[in-house]
């Protein structure tokens, strides 16, 4: 299973939000209350400890995080970096309330904004100015960590949803990777007739991944601007276009084109093995899979997910996977900021790109000697963004209550425990609650 933190630390639960709001830190938003006497950066004679996230638990990001730590420690032998494990978001929430949270934290945009409102996250505008972090940073990425006009974090990476396919199998059978729903529906019966699963998929260990299908579908039927309106504007989840699209997915799943109608009963890892052993032709995945160490006896290709419109063109949903934030209660904020400056070092930028999870900064991938598939896919994503055919992942930009359902209850639709209309009607009611509480993500600058 893919253990990347953006998928595990999903949108902050409502109960945790209420807890944080009720127990807000006494530090104010300027971040100085906890450290009236200076933070230690540049004071080489001072020895102190910074608590930072444990690099080992972050999957593909681990090597980049460790590289950042190593660079900092080489320059600051007086500072000890204590790597701390927070097993889940509830543990982190409790640590914030008790004052035991790390100085540096990894956090998704929605959680960071809620915690900033509760005075747990320090603003970073002075550090953006001091270090010039946003000179090459994509504005849309920085905006994911802007709240009340203040920068509250550094976007850690950008990621998108793509299709992984058995390129050798496609060549041997004369198949072409589909670009729209009509082409997909012309292809999948041919694949199934050969005793091969069109798509390998599994969500028993992580129901949140079903959101990837919904995200891909709504982006492709509504387009980038329409998806903006769905997530943060007036378009309703009960729009006939969405009802039709989700119904067609349910029909697609029930026709046996997704793991022979067993996806809800097997894990992500098991579904990956189905693909790697040639039992499935395709798999919906993300840019985080580009640099995996899988070495099957066939060539793996990457392509945009086919448009769910019958004659449409693909849209690649993109988003910020997570970000780095400073604990407002830290006594060494300046030192944390100096550590974060190493995040933009060439060594760390290359480590991120090599694992298919590039930093959201202007980068020339051609100079990095990346794996061919990684380089090809990253170029594909950049071209989509430049051409206006990149969209928005729900886990970064969707209404919080809606995302909770997308990441927990999509099987109700294709297992026919509810109707598509009723399921989408519930999503619309949840969106309206988020609208009333002003919890929608502002996509006007994207």
Same domain? 114 vs 78: yes
Q: What is the tens place of the pLDDT at every residue in 51-94? A: 999 998 766 678 899 999 999 999 999 999 999 998 777 889 99
Separation between Cα atoms, residue 253 and residue 246, nearest integer Å: 11
| Structural domain for 150, as ranges | 5-157+321-363
Q: What is the tens place of the pLDDT at every residue in 183-200? A: 999 999 999 999 999 999
Least Cα distance to 59 among 355, 344, 281, 287 occurs for 355
pLDDT on residue 104:
97
382 part of a folded domain = no
Q: What is the tens place of the pLDDT at every residue in 114-141? A: 899 999 999 999 999 999 999 999 888 8
- Report the range of poorest mean pLDDT among 27-31, 146-150, 367-371, 397-401: 27-31
| DSSP-derived pairing of the beta strands 323-326 and 104-107 | antiparallel
Same domain? 28 vs 149: yes
More confident: 76 or 22: 76
Same domain? 11 vs 83: yes
370 part of a folded domain = no
Residue 159 token pair:
């990621």
Mean per-residue pLDDT, 156-180: 95
Same domain? 190 vs 137: no
Same domain? 330 vs 181: no
Same domain? 329 vs 223: no
Q: How many Cβ atoms sit within 10 Å of the Cβ of residue 428?
A: 17
**Are the C-beta atoms of 316 and 384 separated by less than 8 Å?**
yes
Separation between Cα atoms, residue 102 and residue 95, nearest integer Å: 8
Same domain? 302 vs 207: yes
Same domain? 38 vs 92: yes
**Are the C-beta atoms of 340 and 114 separated by less than 8 Å?**
no
DSSP 90: H
Q: Which DSSP string corresponds to 174-241?
A: T-----SHHHHHHHHHHHHHTT-EEE----SS-GGGGHHHHHHHHHHHHHHHHHHHHHHSS--TT-HH
Max Cα distance, the chain (Å):
72
pLDDT on residue 114:
86
Quickly tell me which residue has 């994509």 as its tokens: 138
Q: Which DSSP string corresponds to 136-151?
A: SB-HHHHHTTEETTEE
Mean per-residue pLDDT, 305-312: 96
**Based on the structure, what is the number of domains in the chain?**
2
Q: Which DSSP string corresponds to 395-440?
A: HHHS-HHHHHHHTT-THHHHTTSS-HHHHHHHHHHHHHHHHHTT-S
Same domain? 265 vs 404: yes
pLDDT on residue 56:
84
Q: Enumerate residues 6+ apart whose C-beta is below 8 A from 222.
A: 229, 230, 235, 241, 242
Same domain? 251 vs 168: yes
Least Cα distance to 236 among 72, 430, 21 occurs for 430
421 part of a folded domain = yes
Mean per-residue pLDDT, 217-228: 96
Same domain? 279 vs 199: yes
Confidence bin at 43 (pLDDT 50/70/90): very low
Where helices occur in 240-345 by DSSP H, the ranges are 240-252, 268-276, 333-341
445 part of a folded domain = no
Q: Indicate which CATH number applies to the domain containing 60.
A: 3.40.190.10
**Are the C-beta atoms of 195 and 322 separated by less than 8 Å?**
no
117 part of a folded domain = yes
293 part of a folded domain = yes
Q: Enumerate residues 6+ apart whose C-beta is below 8 A from 122.
A: 29, 31, 152, 325, 326, 327, 328, 330, 333
Same domain? 195 vs 103: no
124 part of a folded domain = yes
Q: Report the percent of the chain where pLDDT is more than 70.
A: 88
| DSSP-derived pairing of the beta strands 158-166 and 316-320 | antiparallel
368 part of a folded domain = no
């Amino acid at each position: 299973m893919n253990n990347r933190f953006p998928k595990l630390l999903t949108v902050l639960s409502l109960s945790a939000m209420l807890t944080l709001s009720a127990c807000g830190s006494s530090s104010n938003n300027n971040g100085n209350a906890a450290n009236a006497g200076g933070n230690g950066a540049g004071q080489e004679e001072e020895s102190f400890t910074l608590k930072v996230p444990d690099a080992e638990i972050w999957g593909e990001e681990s090597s980049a995080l460790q590289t950042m730590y190593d660079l900092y420690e080489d320059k600051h032998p007086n500072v000890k970096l204590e790597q701390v494990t927070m097993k889940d978001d509830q543990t982190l929430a409790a640590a914030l309330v008790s004052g035991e949270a790390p100085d540096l934290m990894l956090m998704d945009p929605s959680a960071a904004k809620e915690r900033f409102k509760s005075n747990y996250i320090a603003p970073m505008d002075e550090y953006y100015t001091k270090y010039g972090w946003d000179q090459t940073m994509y504005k849309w990425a920085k905006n994911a960590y802007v709240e009340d006009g203040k920068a509250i974090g550094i976007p850690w990476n950008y990621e998108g949803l793509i299709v992984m396919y058995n390129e050798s199998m496609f060549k041997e059978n004369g198949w072409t990777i589909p670009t729209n729903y009509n082409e997909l529906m012309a292809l999948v019966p041919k694949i199934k007739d050969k005793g091969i699963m069109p798509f390998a998929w599994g969500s028993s260990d992580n129901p949140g991944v079903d959101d990837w299908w919904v995200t891909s579908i709504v982006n492709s039927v509504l387009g980038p601007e329409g998806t903006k309106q769905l997530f943060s504007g007036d378009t309703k989840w009960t729009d006939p276009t969405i009802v039709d699209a989700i119904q067609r997915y349910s029909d697609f799943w029930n026709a046996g084109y997704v793991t022979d109608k067993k996806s809800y009963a097997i894990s992500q890892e098991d579904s990956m093995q189905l693909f790697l052993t040639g039992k499935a032709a395709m798999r919906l995945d993300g840019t985080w899979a580009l640099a995996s160490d899988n070495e099957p006896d066939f060539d793996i290709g990457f392509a945009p997910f086919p448009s769910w419109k019958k004659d449409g063109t693909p849209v690649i949903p993109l988003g910020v996977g997570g970000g780095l934030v400073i604990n407002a209660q830290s006594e060494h904020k300046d030192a944390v900021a100096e550590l974060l400056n190493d995040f933009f070092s060439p060594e760390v930028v290359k480590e991120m790109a090599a694992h298919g999870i590039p930093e959201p900064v202007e980068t020339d991938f051609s100079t990095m000697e990346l794996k061919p598939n990684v380089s090809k896919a990253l170029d594909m994503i950049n071209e989509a963004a430049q051409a206006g055919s990149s969209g928005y992942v729900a886990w970064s930009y969707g209404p919080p209550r809606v995302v909770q359902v997308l990441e927990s209850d999509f099987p109700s639709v294709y297992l026919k425990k509810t109707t598509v209309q009723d399921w989408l009607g519930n999503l619309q009611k949840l969106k309206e609650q988020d609208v009333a509480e002003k919890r929608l993500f502002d996509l006007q600058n994207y």
